[in-house]
Structure 1
Amino acid sequence: MSAQHPANIEWRSESGQIAYRDALAAMEKRNRAISEGSTSEMVWLLEHPPVYTAGTSADGAELLDPRFEVVEAGRGGRYTYHGPGQRVGYVMLDLKERGRDVRCFVHSLEGWVIATLADIGVECWRSDGRIGIWTRDVDGGEAKIGAIGVRVRRWVTMHGFSVNLAPDLTHFTGIVPCGIEEFGVTSLARLGIDLAPEAFDEALHARFGDFLAALEGKACALP
């Protein structure tokens, strides 16, 4: 599904899997075109075959069992996993038009995902010193349900977020996710919520206007 958002931002939801390297090449091409003013900004929602991706701060000691392809992602952060049952959102926005504030972009991105998950019935939060989206797992402990990793080139954003709908959580054991060993990883399915990717995309879309308002209104001091 591809649509043009009222703010002239293309919204594309993929139903099939797209190889990570192919998505990365497409995203880099789109980044250049947005920067040159030859195409619109874009939100791209998709799913990847199993892959481990390495951010610019990746530590080789945290690649425990490279059972899947490992790709240098170019984004910030460390190792993360993408695979079936996980929804990935690539957000390509021109920050030249939105204050050139990377911190505000990341804060607003986190807030968008947190608000969307709240609408679905899962309370989530940020955690000081720990990148990502956190929630209460079935055992009562804190666990990560979503990851954040961005890159800004030519003041156009790349990469974005991933949320665990129903992935195989054992696939995360091949790495130390985002360099955080002491906390686990969870999913909507593990929490008892069966949600199709299309339904999650619709929930994200319903909150997209709030995300843009937070970003453009610089509402970044909010908790």
Structure 2
Amino acid sequence: MKSADNLTDDLPVGIEWRRSDGLVDYRAAMAEQEARNTAIAEGEAGELVWLLEHPPVYTAGTSADVAELVDPRFDVVTTGRGGRYTYHGPGQRVTYVLLDLARREKDLRNFVHALENWVIATLGDFAVEAFAVPDRIGIWTRDAAGTEAKIGAIGVRVRRWVTMHGFAVNLSPDLTHFGGIVPCGIADYGVTSMAALGKAVAPEEWDRALLARAPEFLRALDIKDRMPA
């Protein structure tokens, strides 16, 4: 079994595969993404996939409605990603994906679909049946009571065809923290986690499984040579 230090050894070169084990301030991470996005677009830096966790924070996407900020008990940060309000905090593993789609295929819909499939396949490796719903943002599963609940969030931004932000998966966060917002503007469904489903998954375990499926995620973005259906 690979140690945490060499989980990225066999991954495609040309992309920086970064893991942060401590909590990374959200504003600092956002500033680093902004700078890296510009550098990638200008050919001054390589692409980046960054796995990390944040201290508790609420983030507002471009469609955020202040009425859905129910109890701003944590810092609230406005971002340039799509979507509405979401929560990040300890026990939730976030993956930021900064890739140059101009080097692949300029297809944002395909990119989001590939992100969804990456998360769903990885959750399946832990025997969690997850799925995407066309009219609802995020990654869904069924909670312990059998009700549909959200286990992952997706929010992206593309600038000069270089992507930013990405997705977050609930491993073992404090689910009461989601009560300060209407997560992604969807009030009719709850939020769940791997822990709430009886799956004790450490960040390193999640990272290992996710990164093992990274090559198939990248292949899904290289659609230029596909024959039409």
Task: Check the 8 A contact 2:151/2:191 in 1, yes or no.
Answer: yes
For 1:146, the equivalent position in structure 2 comes to 152
**1:192 and 2:207 aligned:** no
For 1:80, the equivalent position in structure 2 comes to 86
Q: CA deviation at 1:189?
A: 0.2
Amino acid of the structure 2 residue aligned with 1:165: L
SS of 1:190's equivalent? helix
Task: Check the 8 A contact 2:12/2:215 in 1, yes or no.
Answer: no
Which residue of the other structure, out of 10, 15, 18, is the alignment partner of 1:9? Answer: 15
**Count of aligned positions:** 221
For 2:162, the equivalent position in structure 1 comes to 156
CA distance in 2, matches of 1:215, 1:133: 19
Query: CA-to-partner distance for each residue in 1:2-41, whole Å, 9 max, x for gaps?
Result: 8573241110011000010000000111101111111110
Amino acid of the structure 2 residue aligned with 1:123: E
Q: CA deviation at 1:91?
A: 0.1
For 1:102, the equivalent position in structure 2 comes to 108
Scaled by the length of structure 2, what TM-score is found? 0.93
CA distance in 1, matches of 2:12, 2:77: 35
Query: CA-to-partner distance for each residue in 1:67-121, whole Å, 9 max, x for gaps?
Result: 0000001100000000000000000000101111111100001100000110111
Amino acid of the structure 2 residue aligned with 1:177: P
**1:125 and 2:131 aligned:** yes
For 2:70, the equivalent position in structure 1 comes to 64
**1:208 and 2:220 aligned:** no
CA distance in 2, matches of 1:73, 1:88: 15
CA distance in 1, matches of 2:196, 2:180: 19
CA distance in 1, matches of 2:218, 2:55: 30
Scaled by the length of structure 1, what TM-score is found? 0.96
SS of 1:33's equivalent? helix
CA distance in 1, matches of 2:86, 2:80: 12
For 1:134, the equivalent position in structure 2 comes to 140
Which runs of 5 or more structure 1 residues have no equivalent in the other structure? none
Identity %: 66
Which runs of 5 or more structure 2 residues have no equivalent in the other structure? none
For 1:115, the equivalent position in structure 2 comes to 121
CA distance in 1, matches of 2:222, 2:170: 28
